Amino acid sequence: MDLTDSDITDPTDFPASLPSLVALDAALRCAVCKDFFKGPVLLTCGHTFCSFCIREALSEHKECPSCRKPVSDQSLHRNTTLEEVVLAFLRARPEILTAVKPPELKRKRARSDSSAVAGPSVHRQDEDVEEASDDEVVEYSPSEGERQRSISPRKSKESTPGSAAPTSFVSCPICIEYMPMIELNEHLDRNCAAPRKKFKADEGKLAWQSLLNGKGKAKEKPRLKNGTKKRSPSPPPTRMVKHNYHIMSEKDIRALLTDASLSTDGSKKAMVARHSHFVTLFNANLDTMRPKSRKELIKELEAWEAGKEMDDRQKKKRKEKVEDTKQYEAANQDQFKSMINSIKSRPKPSSSALTTTSAKFALTATDETKGFFDSSPAPSPPKNLKRDGENEVIVLCDSSDVEAL
């Protein structure tokens, strides 16, 4: 498993000799996901995070992750300007990277790029200034023609598209979205907009109305038609709300899911998790400049759920408990014996009091472990191996201070 994927961008992609660029890159990233802001939202304390990240974080603690000031998810505001800044920087990033690359790499890059699919040729006026100011780093100045080619906005670490099959997935150089390479050009022509899908605005609107107003939907509709003037064709969709799930019955939750046209499979817990995650996805999606379609969101939700199921299953496996201790003991007798022997055969300490006690511990541990074994062979200090109330342990670092609390 390659742990450091090539498409992972990082502030340290910039050479350490240019700390201002490293800092600029770092400043445009969300502190939670360490990726560039996606649908940034402003908190009342002034900090900004990706909409999705902060919504996830708030589901755990209702405070700003950076300064711990209390925040509610109703008080989040879209930070459109910052999103534009990030998009502009993402467009400029590959250019800057190319400009500051050492000459060796750059020449290689330029060559491989000539066979590549041309990205959008965004030429920035200030590029010359950029290069000029970094004189000691960039000694190599490409000729005009070479530069034209070298300004293919791609991250330095990515594989060259020349070697990629047309069906392979690539990351858009502008919006870092993933897509098959054959779709990339079309996507860029659309200015990174999502492909136009037949999205029935009315259908969605109705669904939300029924969700929010309950039975009032039938009354609401004619009034809108006759009374109010014609609205813009697609009014901004309303945000979804998280409900107080644990006071709801399974039936209510199922109704919620049906209203949002989500699957109603699984236990109550699974349904609650599904609805609340979808609400987060949905609301976070509204904070982005190019919101995804409902279909895509549902796909994301399904992927999340599949991943979660796998994690849960793994967790269960790890927590497997020994049911029949007698049988377990018999099956692992050899291992137990060798562990007991290894402890018994340890050199006996001679003098200091401290070591004698630890030897005593070792003996106690051996006695105790005759019936049941802990996974750790380390015998000292003695462990009471029957753990009762495993999750209910209250621990005080210093019991003398308890009264002060």
Partner 1 sequence: MSAISTKRLQKELAEIRKGCPAGITLLEADDLAVWFLSIEVLGESVYKGEVFSLRFKFGPRYPIESPEVVFVVDNTHQAPIHPHVYSNGHICASILGSEWSPVLSTSAVCITLQSMLASCPKKERPTDNDRYVRTAPLSPKDARFQYHDDTV
DSSP-derived secondary structure letter, 366: H
Q: In the 8-state DSSP scheme, what is residue 166?
A: T
Q: With 0-12 CB in 10 A as exposed, 13-18 as middle and 19+ as buried, what is 12?
A: exposed
**Number of chain positions touching partner 1 (CB under 8 A):** 50
Name every residue whose Cβ is closer than 8 Å to that of residue 22 and which is 6 or more positions away in sequence. Answer: 11, 12, 14, 16
Show Cβ contacts of residue 139 under 8 Å, excluding neighbours closer than 6 positions: 103
Q: How far is CA 346 from CA 189, 248, 341, 354, in A?
A: 74, 60, 9, 16
Asked if residue 353 binds partner 1 (CB under 8 A), the reply is: no
Q: Is 354 in the site for partner 1 (CB under 8 A)?
A: no
β-pair partners for 180: 169
367 binds partner 1 (CB under 8 A): no
Spatial distance between the Cα atoms of 247 and 268, rounded to a whole number of angstroms? 12
Binding mask 299-338 for partner 1 (x = CB under 8 A): ----xx--xx--x---------------------------
| 65 near partner 1, judged by CB under 8 A | yes
Q: Of the candidates 24, 32, 181, 248, which one interacts with partner 1 according to CB under 8 A?
A: 32
18 binds partner 1 (CB under 8 A): no
Which residue of 15, 22, 24, 35 would you call a contact of partner 1, by CB under 8 A? 35
Q: Is 381 in the site for partner 1 (CB under 8 A)?
A: yes
- The most distant pair of C-alpha atoms in the chain lies apart, rounded to whole Å, by 98
Distance CA(207)–CA(258), nearest Å, equals 10
Three-class DSSP category at 281: helix
Show Cβ contacts of residue 283 under 8 Å, excluding neighbours closer than 6 positions: 51, 55, 73, 239, 240
Residue 396 makes contact with partner 1 by CB under 8 A? yes
Instruction: At 73, list the tokens.
Output: 């998810």
Q: Alpha-carbon distance 354 to 77, whole Å?
A: 62
User: Taking CB under 8 A as the criterion, which residues in 38-57 touch partner 1?
Assistant: 52-53, 56-57
- Looking at the Cβ atoms of 2 and 144, the one nearer to partner 1 is 2
Sign of CA dihedral 135, 139, 144, 145: negative
Residue 1 engages partner 1 in binding (rule: CB under 8 A): yes
Is the CB of 247 or the CB of 405 nearer to partner 1?
A: 405
> In whole angstroms, what is the distance from residue 222 CA to residue 339 CA?
80
CB of 147 to partner 1, least distance (A): 29
Interaction of residue 378 with partner 1, rule CB under 8 A: yes
- The reply on whether position 12 binds partner 1 by CB under 8 A is yes
66 touches partner 1 by CB under 8 A: yes
Instruction: Output 13 or 83, the one with its CB closest to partner 1.
Output: 13
> Binding residue for partner 1 (CB under 8 A) from 228, 267, 352, 391?
391
Min dist CB 346 to partner 1, Å, is: 11
The answer to whether 400 contacts partner 1 (rule: CB under 8 A) is: yes
Establish if 158 lies at the interface with partner 1 (CB under 8 A). Answer: no
* Angle, helices 51-60/268-286, rounded to nearest 10 degrees: 140
The residue among 54 and 96 lying less far from partner 1, judged by its C-beta, is 54
Between 111 and 157, name the residue whose CB sits nearer to partner 1. 157
Which range binds partner 1 by CB under 8 A, 106-114, 136-144, 364-372, 390-398? 390-398
Query: Are 29 and 48 contacting, i.e. CB atoms less than 8 angstroms apart?
Result: no
Binding site for partner 1 (CB under 8 A): 1, 3-5, 8, 10, 12, 31-35, 52-53, 56-57, 59-61, 65-66, 68, 303-304, 307-308, 311, 378, 381-384, 387-402, 404-405
